[in-house]
Structure 1
Amino acid sequence: MQATAYTYDPETRSGSVLLDDGTPVPFDAAAFDAGGLRLLRPGQRVRIEVQNPENDAEARQITLVTLQTF
């Protein structure tokens, strides 16, 4: 699934992304670390893996955040 980086805190290595429909979804340090990134800037296009993607936004949990490559 693709999204856009919205917030990122380098101290906690957590933040949030915006899905293409504008829904914000938070991610934690474990999801950031799983993607192997060192830094994330708001506005970057990212690829995410989501647990419970069919449920409502509150039940979604991002398990991986990495840069989207073409």
Structure 2
Amino acid sequence: MQATAYTYDPATREGSVLLDDGTPLPFDAAAFDAGGLRLLRPGQRVRIEVEGGAGAGGEGRKIVLVTLQTL
């Protein structure tokens, strides 16, 4: 699934993305580390892998991997 990086804190390696429908979805340091990234800037297109349900507003979904979207 693709998304856009929205926030990122390099101290905690946590942040959030915006799904293409505008829904924000947070990610933790484990998801960031799983993607092998060193830095993430807001506005970058990313590829994410998500586990869990698809409740309203992203409830029940958890990002397990964040990496850069490449062509």
TM range (shorter): over 0.9
Give me the whole-angstrom Cα distance separating, in 2, the residues matched to 1:28 and 1:10: 11
- Which residue identity lines up with residue 30 of structure 2 in the other structure? A
Matched, 1:23 2:14: no
Q: What TM-score do the two structures reach when normalised by structure 2?
A: 0.95
- Report how many aligned residue pairs link the two structures: 69
Return structure 1 stretches of 4+ with deviation > 3 angstroms: none
Unaligned 5+ segments in structure 2 are none
- Which residue identity lines up with residue 67 of structure 1 in the other structure? L
RMSD: 0.7
Q: Match for residue 43 of structure 1?
A: 43
Unaligned 5+ segments in structure 1 are none
- Offset at residue 58 of structure 1 (A): 1.4
- Offset at residue 31 of structure 1 (A): 0.1
- Offset at residue 19 of structure 1 (A): 0.1
Give me the whole-angstrom Cα distance separating, in 1, the residues matched to 2:32 and 2:59: 19
Identity %: 81
Q: Match for residue 64 of structure 2?
A: 63
Q: What TM-score do the two structures reach when normalised by structure 1?
A: 0.96
**Is the partner of 2:59 in helix, strand or coil?**
helix
